[in-house]
């Protein structure tokens, strides 16, 4: 079931194709709710981190990881945001990992480099976004989950 979200509009002008367009992102000040995106598609997935148990599960495993020894809370929260999508969410339609905090790609050419312009006063739009799914993650054993967390941390350079 898709979630209806109120998102904020941003103007973008694309450095690759030169076209102007409008994209929508999670408004400032919203906590615990994220729209995940990948590097390679226009797919989006909604995450309610407060109610989705996999978010706490990954957080706990991260905090137990030897790679996080001696790291402060800010750093751990940063690592959780950077790695959660790849660790616990099924990939997008192109097989690439979703990531929290990834801004939308250009709607015209699908590439990532964009110049942003805030719209003033702010404008909002209601969007229906499918929830992030965790089919792969949910089929892993506890030990496999630990390995997966470690693999993703290593791959992302943590």
Binding stretches for Zn ion (CB under 5 A): 14, 16-17, 106, 108-109
Quote the least distance from Cβ 115 to Zn ion, whole Å.
11
Least distance (Å) between residue 143 CB and Zn ion: 43
Task: State in angstroms the smallest separation of the CB of 17 from Zn ion.
Answer: 3
Three-state SS string over the chain comes to CCEEEEEEEEEEEECCCCCEEEEEECCCCCCCEEEEECCCCCCEEEEECCCCHHHHHHHHHHHHCHHHCCCCHHHHHHHHHHHHHHHHCCCCCCCCCCEECCCCCCCCCCCCCEEEEECCCCCEEEEEECECCCHHHHCCCHHHHHHHHHHHHHHCCC
| CA 123 – CA 105 distance, rounded (Å) | 19
In the complex, minimum distance from the CB of residue 145 to Zn ion, in angstroms, rounded to a whole number = 38
Please identify, using beta-carbon distances, which residue of 17 and 136 lies nearer to Zn ion.
Answer: 17
CB 107, min distance to Zn ion, A:
8
Cα 49 versus chain centre, distance: 11
Tell me whether residue 20 or residue 48 sits nearer to Zn ion (CB atom): 20
């Amino acid at each position: 079931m898709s979630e209806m979200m109120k998102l904020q509009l941003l103007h973008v002008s694309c450095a690759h194709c030169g076209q102007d367009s409008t994209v929508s992102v999670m408004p400032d000040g919203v906590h615990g709710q994220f729209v995940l995106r990948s590097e390679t598609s226009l797919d989006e997935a909604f995450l309610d981190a407060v109610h989705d148990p996999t978010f706490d599960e990954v957080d706990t495993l991260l905090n137990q990881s030897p790679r996080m020894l001696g790291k402060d809370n800010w750093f751990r929260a940063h690592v959780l945001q950077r790695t959660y999508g790849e660790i616990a969410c099924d990939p997008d339609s192109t097989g690439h990992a979703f990531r929290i905090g990834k801004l939308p790609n250009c709607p015209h050419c699908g590439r990532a480099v964009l110049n942003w312009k805030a719209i003033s006063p702010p404008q909002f739009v209601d969007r229906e976004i499918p929830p992030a799914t965790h089919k792969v993650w949910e089929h892993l054993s506890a030990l496999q989950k630990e390995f997966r967390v470690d693999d993703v941390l290593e791959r992302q350079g943590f």
